[in-house]
Structure 1
Amino acid sequence: MKPPILKRLTPKLDHNKAFVFILISTAAIWFVLQLSKTYTTQLQLNYSIINLPKEYKIEKEQKLSIYITSNGLNLLYLNLFNPEINIDYSEFTKSYDFISIDESGLNNLISTQLELDKNQIEAHNLLKLDYYKLFSKQIEVFPNLDLTFQPGFDTIQDIQYSPSQITIYGREDALSSIDSVFTNPITHRNIKDSISSQIDLNLVELDYDEVNTNVINYTILVDRFTEKTITLPVEVINLPSDTNISIYPKQLEVSFELPLSKYNQVSAKNFKLICDYSRAKISDNYLIPKLVKSPKFIKYERLRTKQISYLIKE
C-alpha cells in the first residue's frame, strides 16, 4: 500500500509528463510543417575555379550570391553545409583582364550541381573576376652572412649554398625591377666546426605572386688555419725578343694562411709569380711582382718584396 503522500504526487507527475510530451510533439509537428513549406532566400555560395591555366592568376574573387526557392529542408541543408560549386575555366567568357559568366550560365551551372530545377535558381548578377597572366623570371640568390670565428679558424672556401637561383612568378611589370634576393641573416658566432643548415629567403619586400622555393641550403666548411712561407722563382713575361735583362732578386718569399689539414699538400709548384715587363716604366728601373696562380683554399697572401729591380744588358 502506497503512503498517502505518494498517492497524491503520482497523478500530478503523470499529468506533467503528458503535458511535456504533448508540447514536444506539437513543436515537432510545427517544425516539420515549416520545413515542408516553400521559401525564397538569398545564399552566398562557395565556389572553386577548376582547370585554370597555371600562367593565370585570379586577382580577387567575387562573392557568388544567388536567390534559391525551395522547401525549408533543402534550404536548411544548404545553409548548414554550404556545398562548394565547381566552375570550369572553359565556362567563362574571356577578356583581356577579366573572365565572366552571365546570370543564365550561373543558373544552369548551379541548378545542375545542386540538383535543383532551373526555375528555383536566380542569379541577379554576373560573376566577373579580374585576372592577369603570370610571368616567370630567374633571379640570383645572395647569402647575407654575419659570421665570426674562434681565433685560428676560418672557412676553407666560400660558403656553399643551393639553389643559387630561384624562379619567381608575377606581373611582368613587377618582375622587371627584381634581379636578386638576399637570405635572412646567416648568423653564427665563434665558429670552429663546419656547419650545414637552411635559411629562409628575405622575400618580404618583393612584389611577386609565387616562388618555386623560399629556403636555401648552405654549408660553411671550417678548419684550423696556420701560416706558411715558401720561396718562388720570379718569371718575367712580355719581354721583347731583342731585350735581355737581369733581375734582382730572382726569388721571392710569399707568406699565406692555409688549412692545417692541407699544410703538407702545398709547395712552390702550386704557385706562379710573374713580372710583366710591358707594364714597367723605364725611368723607374723596377718591376712589380704579381701572384697569378695559387691554391683556392689559401688566404691572405703577402709578398715579402714589393719591387723587383732590373738591369738591361747590352
Structure 2
Amino acid sequence: MSKKQVFNGATKRKVKVFVVLLFCSFLAWLISKLSDTHTDETTFDLVYTNIPDSLFFLGASKDQLTITARGSGWQFLGSRFATKKLPIDLNGMAHRGNKFFLAEQAFRKQIETKLPEAMTILRMDQDTLFFNFTRMIRKKVPVVVEATISLEQNYLMDGELQITPDSVLLRGPSEEIDTITSVHSEPVSLIDISSDFKRTLTLVKSGELINTVYERNTVIVSAEVFRFSEKIFQVAVEVANLPEGTQIRTFPNTVEVLCKARIERLKEILPSDFRIIADLEDIKDESPYLPLYLIEQPEGLPSVQMRQSQVEFILKRE
C-alpha cells in the first residue's frame, strides 16, 4: 500500500469521526432545548360532536381557536405533528329559547383534557361559543310510482299495483320537508307483461333536499297477472224518480254488461248481482235519452263495462 493510499484512508476516518461527533453534539443540544419550557401559540380547527338528533347544525360563531400554552419542547413538538382538529362536545351546551351556546368555562375544560398533561393554557379566546341550529322533523309521505305498464292481449292485473312500502319516513330540517307531500320512484316501463312481476325501484331525491335523509331508498312494486275470460250479462234497467201516475218504457229494457275475470270467478256471478238505474231527474233539454249508471256490481272484478251508456224512453200517463 502506497503512502498516498494510507493518507487518504486516514483522512476519511477523521471526516467520519467529525461527522459523528457533530451529530451527537447537535442531538445533545436538541434534547436540551426540547427539555426546556416554552411558550407558544397553537391554532386548532374546531369539530363539533354529539349534536342532538332533534337539531341540524348550520354553523358556529367560531371554526378555529388559537391558544397560548406553556409546556416542554417535547410537548410542542408532539402537538406540531398531531392532528389540528379539536373535538368540542355539544352534549352540555345551554340554550335560551332558540339560542344555543357553550360558555368559555365549559369548552376550556374540554380543551384542557385533550392537551398533554404537563401543558398549561396561558391564554385563549374568552368568547362564548354560539351555535346556529334548525329543528329536525320526521314526516311520513306516500310513495308515487312512475310506472308505465302494458299487458299482453287477454291479460289483466289482479287488483291494484302493490307498492311495498307505500310510504316512506323523511328526516330533515323543517325548512326542507315542510312542503313535501310525496316522494317519487324512478320511472319504469313494463311492456307486454303476461305473468306476475316484482321490481325494486329507487326513490328519486330532489336536489333541494340537501340535508334530508330517507328512511329507505327503494320500494318494491309487484302485481299478479292472469289470462282473463269474458262473459256478458243481461241486466235489467231500473228507473229512478218516476212521478206517480206515470209509466215508462225504456228501449232496450236490459243492458249488456261485459265482465273480464278469471273463468272460475265468472261462473259464480249472476245478472242479479248488478244494478243499473236510469234517473229521470237527469233528463236534459227534453232529450229522448236517459243516461245509465251502474251502481252495484260484484266485488273483486278486474274489469266491468256497460255496453251502452244511455237508453231511449217513453212516458205514459196512467
Is the pair's TM-score, using the shorter chain for normalization, greater than 0.5? yes
Describe the superposition over 1:201-227 as per-residue Cα deviations: whole angstroms up to 9, x where unpaired: 222244474334242422232525445
Determine if contact 1:145/1:186 at 8 Å carries over to the other structure: yes
1:63 matched to which residue of 2? 63
2:104 matched to which residue of 1? 103
1:168 matched to which residue of 2? 170
Match of 1:290 among 275, 293, 308: 293
1:245 to partner: Cα distance = 4.3
2:31 matched to which residue of 1? 32
1:80 aligns with 2:81: yes
Question: What secondary structure sits across from 2:110 in the alignment?
Answer: helix
1:66 to partner: Cα distance = 2.5
In structure 2, what is the Cα distance between the partners aligned to 1:36 and 1:195?
A: 75
1:215-234 → structure 2 map (5 Å cutoff): 215-226=217-228, 228-234=230-236
In structure 2, what is the Cα distance between the partners aligned to 1:94 and 1:269?
A: 72
Determine if contact 2:164/2:221 at 8 Å carries over to the other structure: no
Determine if contact 1:46/1:64 at 8 Å carries over to the other structure: yes
Determine if contact 2:195/2:226 at 8 Å carries over to the other structure: no
18-27 or 70-79, which moves further after superposition? 18-27
In structure 2, what is the Cα distance between the partners aligned to 1:116 and 1:164?
A: 60
Determine if contact 1:43/1:65 at 8 Å carries over to the other structure: yes
Determine if contact 1:160/1:220 at 8 Å carries over to the other structure: yes
Q: Which amino acid aligns with 1:78?
A: S
In structure 2, what is the Cα distance between the partners aligned to 1:54 and 1:6?
A: 80
1:94 matched to which residue of 2? 95
1:308 aligns with 2:308: no
2:277 matched to which residue of 1? 275
Q: State the identity as a percent.
A: 14
Q: Which amino acid aligns with 1:213?
A: E
In structure 1, what is the Cα distance between the partners aligned to 2:10 and 2:264?
A: 109
1:59 to partner: Cα distance = 0.8
In structure 2, what is the Cα distance between the partners aligned to 1:66 and 1:55?
A: 31
1:44 matched to which residue of 2? 44
In structure 1, what is the Cα distance between the partners aligned to 2:190 and 2:16?
A: 76
1:203 matched to which residue of 2? 205
1:44 to partner: Cα distance = 1.0
Determine if contact 1:275/1:287 at 8 Å carries over to the other structure: no
136-145 or 6-15, which moves further after superposition? 6-15
Question: What secondary structure sits across from 2:107 in the alignment?
Answer: helix
In structure 2, what is the Cα distance between the partners aligned to 1:194 and 1:27?
A: 82
- Change over 3 Å in CA distance of 1:25–1:116 after alignment to 2: closer
Describe the superposition over 1:36-84 as per-residue Cα deviations: whole angstroms up to 9, x where unpaired: 341412221443332x432222212441312142223223333433364
Determine if contact 1:168/1:208 at 8 Å carries over to the other structure: no
1:184 matched to which residue of 2? 186
Describe the superposition over 1:7-53 as per-residue Cα deviations: whole angstroms up to 9, x where unpaired: 67765664454344334434433443343341412221443332x43
Determine if contact 2:56/2:133 at 8 Å carries over to the other structure: yes
TM-score of the superposed pair, with normalisation by structure 1: 0.76
In structure 1, what is the Cα distance between the partners aligned to 2:4 and 2:188?
A: 86
2:52 matched to which residue of 1? 53
Q: Which amino acid aligns with 1:100?
A: F
Determine if contact 1:44/1:66 at 8 Å carries over to the other structure: yes
2:263 matched to which residue of 1? 263
In structure 1, what is the Cα distance between the partners aligned to 2:190 and 2:78?
A: 58
In structure 2, what is the Cα distance between the partners aligned to 1:21 and 1:153?
A: 93
Determine if contact 1:66/1:124 at 8 Å carries over to the other structure: no
1:278 to partner: Cα distance = 4.4
Determine if contact 1:195/1:221 at 8 Å carries over to the other structure: yes
- Change over 3 Å in CA distance of 1:118–1:146 after alignment to 2: farther
Describe the superposition over 1:265-292 as per-residue Cα deviations: whole angstroms up to 9, x where unpaired: 2243385231133445394454333333
In structure 2, what is the Cα distance between the partners aligned to 1:107 and 1:279?
A: 84
TM-score of the superposed pair, with normalisation by structure 2: 0.76
Determine if contact 1:45/1:64 at 8 Å carries over to the other structure: yes
- Change over 3 Å in CA distance of 1:74–1:232 after alignment to 2: farther
In structure 2, what is the Cα distance between the partners aligned to 1:93 and 1:145?
A: 50
Provide the aligned length of Structure 1 versus Structure 2: 307
Question: What secondary structure sits across from 1:53 in the alignment?
Answer: coil
Determine if contact 1:98/1:129 at 8 Å carries over to the other structure: yes
Question: What secondary structure sits across from 2:89 in the alignment?
Answer: strand
1:124 to partner: Cα distance = 5.2
135-144 or 23-32, which moves further after superposition? 23-32
In structure 1, what is the Cα distance between the partners aligned to 2:89 and 2:119?
A: 18
Determine if contact 1:100/1:129 at 8 Å carries over to the other structure: yes
Question: What secondary structure sits across from 1:54 in the alignment?
Answer: coil
In structure 1, what is the Cα distance between the partners aligned to 2:192 and 2:2?
A: 91
Match of 2:255 among 249, 252, 274: 252
